[in-house]
Amino acid sequence: MAILCLPTITCAERPLPQPVKEPFIQAIVERIRDVVSRQSLDALDAFAATLVVAPEEFRALINHREHQIDALFVVDVVSAFVHEFAVDPEWLLTGHYNAATHREALILGEDRTAAGAYVLRQFVRQRYEKLRGAGSYLPQTLCKSSR
């Protein structure tokens, strides 16, 4: 059996958290909260483990409305929702369903490997950047790949 090794992504810097009341980010978080409200506490803990974040950090995003919001973390959460719950990423990002985007995300999500999750995250990030306006909140040069 072959083992797939992905390059390690390291971020030398993190973007500043977006303002709590920034409407685009806040709307995404509200849609995430809407989906979460339908899940059990056990599902939330499992989801936090899938995100590779402490359950407390994920719950802070969900439960604390005045919590500072990190746009990269929100994109990670959207990606994980798409991967785990087959939610349309465009709906989470904009509130509008897009059948073509959903279908593409579902196809990408069929690959349950780490490489598949990475490709899906990149797809969601690209959608976010396009919808947000040329990636003004997620600079292209933020992360550098190291081998």
At 111-131, the pLDDT tens digits run 999 899 999 999 999 999 999
Residue 141 pLDDT class (50, 70, 90 cuts)? very low
Position 21 scores a pLDDT of 64
Residue 104 pLDDT class (50, 70, 90 cuts)? very high
Position 4 scores a pLDDT of 40
Whether this model's pTM surpasses 0.75: no
Read off the pLDDT of each residue in 29-56 and give the average, rounded to a whole number: 78
**Closest listed residue to residue 81, CA positions, set 39, 113, 114, 111:** 39
Position 54 scores a pLDDT of 67
Read off the pLDDT of each residue in 78-86 and give the average, rounded to a whole number: 88
- Domain residue spans of the chain: 16-133
